[in-house]
Structure 1
Amino acid sequence: MSVSAVLAQLMAQGQAEGADLATLRAIAEEAGELGASRALMRLGLDDSGAAKDMAELRELLGAWRDAKRSAWKAVIGWVARIGGAVLLAGLAARFGFWDWVK
């Protein structure tokens, strides 16, 4: 059973036992906000600078991903160049280029 289904069932049960639906919704909303506040506090993100910190972390993560992508492209480029050079050297040796140069 999903969380929303459990919440809906509990709210229906509370309403059946005499609680107002608006009161039950308010309780559920307050419980959600309290849980979110506790989670943010445990992560150390409950101060006023948390939004700026998260923005900086996202920017840093984006830069890291860009750098990683660029590094892989450079490695692939170098492997392709080295492979081409080895292929050309092999063709030169196969067709006697060294004899032709002498």
Structure 2
Amino acid sequence: MAEDAVLAQLLRQAEARGADIGTLRALVEEASERGARRALASIGLADAGAGGDIMQLRELLRAWRDAKTSALRAAVGWVVRLLLALLLLGIAVKLGFWGAAR
């Protein structure tokens, strides 16, 4: 947000000094587009297949998150089952079923 204010202030200053606001805006827009293209090129996303690559990465990340969530749920389920089994075993020992089973 502050960057927008700085840009607006710079444009007003240039206009006050006689520069055409339309030309300045076009200059800023062109510089922004070139900067964005350069940034995308520097990370290898300047080709035509970059959109598909990003979609695949998002899909892979979503699958990873789903797998992580499923693994956590399964682990919690097994811990709960183990605790219930230990509880039942403790109740059986306390009530004397352990000796009757022998």
Q: CA RMSD in A?
A: 1.2
Structure 1 residue runs of 4 or more that deviate by more than 2 Å after TM superposition = 99-102
Secondary structure of the structure 2 residue equivalent to 1:45: coil
What's the counterpart of residue 26 of structure 2?
26
- Mapping for residues 1-102 of structure 1, pairs under 5 Å: 2-102=2-102
Deviation at 1:100, TM superposition (A): 2.9
- Which letter maps to 1:95? L
Q: Percent identical across equivalent pairs?
A: 56
Secondary structure of the structure 2 residue equivalent to 1:13: helix
Greater relative contact order: 1 or 2 (C-alpha under 8 angstroms, separation 6 or more)? 1
- Which letter maps to 2:64? W
TM-score, normalised with respect to structure 2: 0.95
TM-score, normalised with respect to structure 1: 0.95
User: More deviation in 17-26 or 77-86?
Assistant: 17-26
- Structure 2: unaligned runs, 5 residues or longer: none
- Structure 1: unaligned runs, 5 residues or longer: none
Paired residues, number:
102
